[in-house]
Amino acid sequence: MLLKNILPFIGYVLAAESATKTQRTYSQYSPKSSEIAEAAATAHTSHETSDVEGAFFKRLVVIWLENTDFDKAAESEGLSYLAQYGITLDNYWALTHPSEPNYIAAVGGDYFALNDDRFITLPSNVSTIVDLLDSKSISWGEYQEHQPYTGFQGFNYSNQHTFANDYMRKHNPLISYESVTNNETRLSNIKNFTEFYVDLENETLPQWSFITPNMTNDGHDTTINVAATWTKDFLTPLLNNSYFMDDTLVLVTFDENETYADKNKVFALLLGGVIPDDLKGTIDSTFYDHYSEIATVEANWDLDNLGRHDANANVFSIVADAANVTNDDVDTTYKVNNHTYTGYLQDNSQAFPAPNITLKNKVGNPVLPAIVSVWSSEYEAQLSQGFFTSTTTTVTGNIPDATTTASSNGTASHSNSKSASASASASTSAVSSKSSGGANSVHVVGISAILGFAAALIL
């Protein structure tokens, strides 16, 4: 109890430390039940849809589960059942630890040195996949299980009967970006599961969606068997729904692995109506990571890029083939992805990293012009300070432990094996640390990182 009482103090210290920089919020935002009810009564929910053609799919549905090593996920009854209907990606990697930095990176192209799960906001000039989708009027939305109402920005929302953890802000990728939350139209797309079934019934599902189950169903507070069973039960009727399935690609994956000492490779599975019969039950061993989710969207709809790690990321090969994209062969011998880098969200002396406005993505498209317009001056300033190299998209030395060699170009090949399981990477350390909430193996610098780490452990 004493530890919980110091949380507000931690928030104040961290906020004060960053007073000279763009304002960052490190404290909890926990509205009262009465305030939640009042806000819910007036919250606007969007049901906009669209029908923009893509190279391979018209709709992408992304579902994230929690904190599981590859083997445990692949061997679970629910996911192994689903794997026979899709393509298992057995070389798909998370980016760092713990949860939240992976979520924000999957939509923003970077995790900006975040090393814990605290309450953060990213400045309104930081773009996301939403800016890319909006540039071609492609509808999008999130569905967060047990989020109390559309656009809720609180830190968490518990089960009102059992008080178990339900909705958590750290598992909502877009809610941390002010470019979304400061825009009422965009905020109206951050919905809950009630609205998912409304959109399904009315055939108004968006063309891009991100789905997060609650803390029980995603396996965070339970087990992989609970998460896998939930996923099977959730998806089975949808995979038999012609409206949902037609021209749809579904990605099921995990935010991070459980054993921090191991390589941070996670289970991923592609499903949906666009999967041809001859590829069902097969394995794709191409290197992917969470940035590939953005890169795949860019390739499918011929979009510009964010100027961050999305630009260099591999595209899911089934989409790459349709979009005439050549992926890179990546040597993962020394890749670990269980560290962070020193930067904005943990070190107050660091500037917010500008996007590299000179990048082109896998389909040859440049950085979105609106991003170039906003960031060109800051990019030039950071370039003169040596923050960029020819191969990095943000600050030099981004992920110190993840030495990656990009070799000659080559498209992915699919194994003919009907087995959807594979061995996890060998451990790189004899010490095992679990992803129960703290950033156990993350290198931390400065008082903000230390206090943020303490807050993550307490919460």
Phi, psi of 181, deg, nearest 5: -70, -25
* Closest residue by Cα to residue 258 from 454, 105, 94: 94
Q: What is the dihedral of CA 41, 33, 140, 220, to 10 degrees?
A: -150
CB 434 within 8 Å of CB 99:
no
Q: 98 preceded by cis ω (within 30°)?
A: yes
d(CA 194, CA 152): 14
Torsional class of 137: left (φ above 0), alpha (ψ -120 to 50), beta (otherwise): left
Which residue of the set 51, 117, 131, 221 is catalytic? 221
Residue 43 amino acid letter: A
Active site residue 246: no
Q: Please, are residues 100 and 442 in contact by the beta-carbon 8 Å criterion? A: no
Spatial CA neighbour of 338 closest among 440, 215, 228, 419: 440
Q: What does each C-alpha distance from 380 to 126, 350, 354, 359 come to in angstroms?
A: 17, 16, 9, 14
Q: Say if residues 270 and 402 touch (Cβ distance below 8 Å).
A: no
HSE at residue 278, side-chain half, CA atoms within 13 A, is 2
Write the single-letter amino acid at 237.
Answer: P
Reduced to 3 states, what is the DSSP secondary structure of residue 229? helix
Looking at this protein, which amino acid is placed at residue 25? T
Q: CA 329 → CA 268, 320, 410, distances in Å?
A: 19, 14, 6
Contacts with 291 (C-beta within 8 Å, 6 or more apart), sequence order: 95, 105, 106, 109, 308, 309, 310, 312, 313
Q: Are 181 and 187 in contact (CB under 8 A)?
A: yes
**Inter-residue contact 211 to 174 (CB < 8 Å):** no
Q: Looking at the annotation, which residues are catalytic?
A: 221
